[in-house]
Amino acid sequence: MSSIFTKIINGEIPSYKIYEDDKTIAFLDINPETKGHVLVVPKLEVDKIYDLPDEDFDALMHTVKKLSIHMEKTLGKRTLWKVIGTDVPHAHVHLLPYDETWEHGRTLKLTPEEFEEIRQTLELK
Ligand code: AMP
């Protein structure tokens, strides 16, 4: 069965997408720890990040770097990287705009309008 992230990649379920290229996609985490919490996901579905073939791993990290720089410029905050992967068995990297109120594991409640506003702010075409 396809992972929830493959369903997002295939457009079967919605997401607040900010970036896509031929090998990767990035969208807002629906349980954000900070405003602008982004997930960067390889289109190739593998469980662990180190399961990726080198080409897909390199493409993933290229997108992680590019979006981190873009998010820092846009939000004026350092971008943290986090790799967990115990909830969704499809490799991904969390990008978190850092501020002093951030706590690992905390979840913010945002309205659809707030998600969409952040999505538009962070979108990279
Ligand atoms: P982990 O596997 O521990 O790195 O966590 C998976 C992350 O995926 C969690 O932060 C979830 O909030 C997030 N997540 C799960 N389903 C969705 C979804 N449909 N759209 C966006 N984020 C999701």
What's the first-to-final CA gap in the chain, in angstroms? 31
Residue 101: its pLDDT value, please?
84
Residue 51 has pLDDT above 90, yes or no: yes
Residue 39: its pLDDT value, please?
98
**For this structure, is 92 an active site residue?**
yes
Q: 31 C-alpha vs ligand 1 centroid, how far in Å? A: 7
Is residue 90 within 8 Å of 45, Cβ to Cβ? yes
Report the C-alpha gap between 103 and 99 in whole angstroms. 9
Residue 99: its pLDDT value, please?
86
Instruction: Give CA angle at 36 (33, 42), nearest 5°.
Output: 90
Per-residue confidence band for 49, with pLDDT thresholds at 50, 70 and 90: very high
Q: 39 C-alpha vs ligand 1 centroid, how far in Å? A: 8
Tell me which residue has tokens 């409640």.
Answer: 109
Ligand 1 pocket: which of 5, 10, 30, 80 to mutate (most atoms <8 Å of CB)? 30
Alpha helices in the chain (DSSP H): 4-9, 54-75, 112-122
pLDDT in tens, 72-112: 999 999 999 999 999 999 999 999 999 888 888 899 999 99
Rounded mean pLDDT of the chain?
96
Q: Which residue ranges form the domains of the chain, and what is each CATH number? A: 4-122 (3.30.428.10)
Per-residue confidence band for 7, with pLDDT thresholds at 50, 70 and 90: very high
